[in-house]
Structure 1
Amino acid sequence: MMIHLPAVNVSKLTQRIKHAALGMFNLNDSKWGREGEKPSQDGADLPPVPPSSSPNDSQDKPSYQAPQGNKRPNEGPPDLDELWRDFNQKLGGIFGGAKDKGRQPPNFGGNNGGGNGNGNGGGFQPDMKSAGKGAVLVAAVAALIWFGTGFFIVQEGQQAVITRFGEIKGTREAGFNWRLPYPIERHETVALTQLRSIEIGRGTTVQGTGLKDSSMLTQDENIVDIKFTVQYRLKSAADFLFQNRNPDDAVTKAAESAIREVVGKGAMDTVLNKDRESIQRDVLASIQAQMDRYKTGIHVQTVNIQNVQPPEPVQAAFDDALKAGQDRDRLKNEGQAYANDVVPRAKGTAARLKEEADGYKANVIARAEGDAQRFKSIQVEYSKAPQVTRDRLYLDTMQQIYSNVTKVVVDSKQGNNLLYLPLDKIMQLTAAGTSTANGTTDTNAVANASSATPATPIAPANTTDSRSRDTSRSR
């Protein structure tokens, strides 16, 4: 059946629907369900008085009285036929149809005593044209509501994956988006910026081995317990949803495989004493490589090693060995510190002695060269006056000798006075003078020795004759 709809103004149609709905479904209206009725005149439209079945019934029951005016009997709620009639009239008025004011409510109970169905007992014939328009309107509203279900909002930090009959059609970023309604298309949102964490090595005992799941085998066939956490984010929502079944389990298996690979390449001492940052970098790189190989859409953020220790049964022995190793390192560091202190000092002393030796060498050579030059000069003068030069050299030598020794002057002609000579002080001064580099005597020691020596009377100088002077010169 083809239904041809006339052109309808949308704005007017909306207003009509609004007014019709208000009038149709307003329960506070006193005329709700009775809009099509007219005021009865002389009781023409009133329902007929039901006939009495027997004379006794008419005596026992009260006689039926017709309502007066516009009042219905008992003022009861409207029946279904009145609601159906009002609905058809208002629906016809919405689409421009004329209200059928003379149409009677349907007689669902027969023809009211008549067999031909004429008169007031005739059946009700609905308006098919108005009903078709109403069905189209209801379908249009349902279609609008259905299309409206395709709108959705993606929160900040999330990403939505659109699937059409199970096939991935794209992704939607944060904001207000639309897709084809269900069941054509669906969407699933995934939090990309959420930081997820998984703990590896919880200490659960593995059946059959008696070891914990955190136990790892090293290269030198020792066992260590390692506990660490893996933190990761999502970089592809589509891969995360459709390329793996259980992402957390995949990360756990990859982390266990990576840590066993890294620990198995090193000895026990290396694993326990090695820098943890290097182990964390190696484990992170291995986990990320496995995640990329299987296209899980997971980006490993960090790997944090919390604890590395030997198994509990050998913990005491390991602590002793660790303490011995620490003592070894301490003694080694102390020896290195002593070497760092002594070696530079010895090198400095050697350099100083070398410089002093070089200076002494230069001084001796210069003095020898000077003495040689002086000897050459004296030789020239000596050849001119040998005796005078000889006396001059003698006097200079005596002056140099007597200026560096302690002198005791004794006058033998004064008498037989007791003379005290401080031999011990003189010997000390002599030893001190020989130990000095330049051969000079400490003046303070000489002064002390002189002060300790008692004053000795010195006779006045005697005049020497020319013979004693000549004798001294002859020497």
Structure 2
Amino acid sequence: MAWNEPGGNSNNQDPWGGRKGGDRKGPPDLDEAFRKLQESLNGLFGSGKRRGAGDGSGSGGGFGLLAIGLGLLAAVWLYSAVYVVDEQEQAVVLRFGKYYETVGPGLNFYFPPIDRKYQENVTRERAYSKQGQMLTEDENIIEVPLTVQYKISNLQDFVLNVDQPEVSLQQATDSSVRHVVGSTAMDQVLTEGRELMASEVKERLQRFMDTYKTGITVTQVNLQSAAAPREVQEAFDDVIRAREDEQREKNLAETYANGVVPEARGQAQRLIEDASGYRDEVVSRATGEADRFSKLVAEYRKAPDVTRERLYLDTMQELMSNSSKVLVTGEKGQNNLLYLPLDKMIDSRGTAAPSVPASAASGDLGSRVSAELQQRDLRSRETR
């Protein structure tokens, strides 16, 4: 029956178990409430018979609370000791502060606080960006933005060797970029030299990481378009325009050279070939003349008079074939002069026999001149 139901002894009882007008007034103290809770738990776990209201908290109640506390601690410890490593992750376990093992993917167990666990994603590529003003080799200040991509290749080194390895990576990046930019001219940094610079920065940065044994592998370094500081941007724009004009003039000069130089080389080659042909012709003619003279000497030794006469006739024929008039004088003491109009003789012969070749006509004319000279020689001898 509730304390306030009709017919109940509501005047003598209160909801706190005391009597109205008695010694206890107000709600019970905390010790009594805690004692009742403890008795309820003891009955739940079967720790013995119920104590009376006047009995204090006994050893059975203390043991029950201790068991509950130990159970809660065991549950918390078990929850923190069991962990799962994903397929993309690894975990490094330290036992008493010393490296114990590297754990792969799966369900794993360790013993805190004896063990400590460091779990990281070792396949994901990480990246960070930086930008700063740097001094080039030719003492110009430029702003160079870059992005570095990296991943953890050795989790043990990443955890144990260096304190804050990613901070060390950023500091090493500053050192590498400043070294490379400081040894490169501004033109190369602003134009086509960025790819080569990125390769040099990556190589130098990876060498730093390997020296420090950070367990970090640099996968890519991207140098973005460098620019001048805002205060001197107009001057840099003028420099860039001047560089473009210079490159355009160079291209025009190269185009002109590509058109002129091959032509000059062709002319030079033609002259060389003409000179070579003329040389071969002269050498061949001289060789032929020498061979002819050698054979003529042999014939002259066999018949000197005939050979001499033949040489004379051949020479006269060669000379007269190039002249249109011939004057022949007699011997000393004679005033006889013979005029031979060869041009008219050739023309009349050519009219009479137009089909006769010029070489044949000149040969016949030489024979006639030779005969005429022989007749004059005979007449002069008879006159004597």
TM-score between both structures, scaled by the size of structure 2: 0.59
Post-superposition shift, 1:339?
A: 6.3
* Residue 258 (structure 2) aligns with: 337
Partner of 2:134: helix, strand, or coil?
Answer: strand
CA distance in 2, matches of 1:330, 1:376: 68
Q: Which has the larger radius of gyration?
A: 1
Is 1:172 matched with 2:107?
Answer: no
CA distance in 2, matches of 1:364, 1:343: 31
Partner of 2:348: helix, strand, or coil?
Answer: coil
* Residue 380 (structure 2) aligns with: none
Please list the CA deviations of residues 245-281 of structure 1 after superposition, one character each: whole Å capped at 9, or x if unmatched: 5544433332222212222223323433563333123
* Residue 24 (structure 2) aligns with: none
* Residue 296 (structure 1) aligns with: 214
Aligned residue runs from structure 1 range 15-414, under 5 A = 88=46, 150-164=81-95, 167-176=97-106, 178-201=108-131, 214-241=132-159, 246-273=164-191, 275-311=193-229, 312-334=233-255, 336-338=257-259, 340-342=261-263, 344-376=265-297, 379=300, 383=304, 385=306, 389=310, 393=314, 409-410=347-348
CA distance in 2, matches of 1:83, 1:223: 78
What amino acid maps onto 2:347 in structure 1? Answer: V
2:137 and 2:181 in contact (8 A); partners too: yes
CA distance in 1, matches of 2:105, 2:8: 76
2:93 and 2:103 in contact (8 A); partners too: no
Post-superposition shift, 1:157?
A: 3.1
What amino acid maps onto 1:154 in structure 2? Answer: V
Partner of 1:308: helix, strand, or coil?
Answer: coil
Question: Alignment identity in percent?
Answer: 22
CA distance in 2, matches of 1:278, 1:349: 46
2:300 and 2:307 in contact (8 A); partners too: no
1:159 and 1:171 in contact (8 A); partners too: no
> Higher helix share goes to which structure?
2
Partner of 1:187: helix, strand, or coil?
Answer: strand
Post-superposition shift, 1:230?
A: 1.0
**Structure 2 vs 1, CA of residues 360 and 260 (structure 1 numbering), >3 Å: closer, same or farther?**
same
Post-superposition shift, 1:85?
A: 7.7
> Higher strand share goes to which structure?
2
Partner of 1:227: helix, strand, or coil?
Answer: strand
Post-superposition shift, 1:308?
A: 2.6
CA distance in 2, matches of 1:287, 1:53: 89
CA distance in 2, matches of 1:410, 1:353: 42
Give the aligned CA root-mean-square deviation in angstroms: 5.1
Post-superposition shift, 1:164?
A: 3.7
CA distance in 2, matches of 1:142, 1:161: 25
Post-superposition shift, 1:200?
A: 1.8
**Structure 2 vs 1, CA of residues 406 and 141 (structure 1 numbering), >3 Å: closer, same or farther?**
farther
CA distance in 2, matches of 1:378, 1:369: 14
**Structure 2 vs 1, CA of residues 148 and 359 (structure 1 numbering), >3 Å: closer, same or farther?**
same
What amino acid maps onto 1:197 in structure 2? Answer: A
Post-superposition shift, 1:195?
A: 0.9
Unaligned runs of 5+ in 2: 1-6, 10-38, 55-59, 324-342, 359-367, 377-384
Work out the number of aligned pairs and report it.
Answer: 302
CA distance in 1, matches of 2:240, 2:115: 63
**Structure 2 vs 1, CA of residues 233 and 85 (structure 1 numbering), >3 Å: closer, same or farther?**
closer
Please list the CA deviations of residues 438-459 of structure 1 after superposition, one character each: whole Å capped at 9, or x if unmatched: xxxxx9xx9xxxxxxxxxxxxx
CA distance in 1, matches of 2:78, 2:255: 82
1:287 and 1:300 in contact (8 A); partners too: yes
Question: Taking CA–CA contacts closer than 8 Å with sequence separation of 6 or more, which of the two structures ends up with the larger relative contact order?
Answer: 2
Please list the CA deviations of residues 196-248 of structure 1 after superposition, one character each: whole Å capped at 9, or x if unmatched: 111122xxxxxxxxxxxx32212322122322211111133244345555544
**Structure 2 vs 1, CA of residues 199 and 340 (structure 1 numbering), >3 Å: closer, same or farther?**
farther
Partner of 1:199: helix, strand, or coil?
Answer: strand
Partner of 2:111: helix, strand, or coil?
Answer: coil
CA distance in 1, matches of 2:145, 2:264: 46
Please list the CA deviations of residues 23-62 of structure 1 after superposition, one character each: whole Å capped at 9, or x if unmatched: xxxxxxxxxxxxxxxxxxxxxxxxxxxxx999xxxxxxxx
2:90 and 2:122 in contact (8 A); partners too: yes
**Structure 2 vs 1, CA of residues 394 and 329 (structure 1 numbering), >3 Å: closer, same or farther?**
closer
CA distance in 1, matches of 2:108, 2:85: 10
Partner of 1:200: helix, strand, or coil?
Answer: strand
CA distance in 2, matches of 1:383, 1:188: 122
Is 1:471 matched with 2:372?
Answer: yes
What amino acid maps onto 2:372 in structure 1? Answer: T
Partner of 2:143: helix, strand, or coil?
Answer: strand
CA distance in 2, matches of 1:228, 1:344: 49
Post-superposition shift, 1:293?
A: 4.7
**Structure 2 vs 1, CA of residues 163 and 397 (structure 1 numbering), >3 Å: closer, same or farther?**
closer
TM-score between both structures, scaled by the size of structure 1: 0.49
2:127 and 2:148 in contact (8 A); partners too: yes
Unaligned runs of 5+ in 1: 1-51, 55-80, 93-104, 111-127, 202-213, 415-442, 447-466
Post-superposition shift, 1:317?
A: 0.7
* Residue 382 (structure 2) aligns with: none
Partner of 2:225: helix, strand, or coil?
Answer: strand
Q: Which deviates more from structure 2 when the two are superposed, residues 359-368 or residues 148-157?
A: 148-157
* Residue 21 (structure 2) aligns with: none
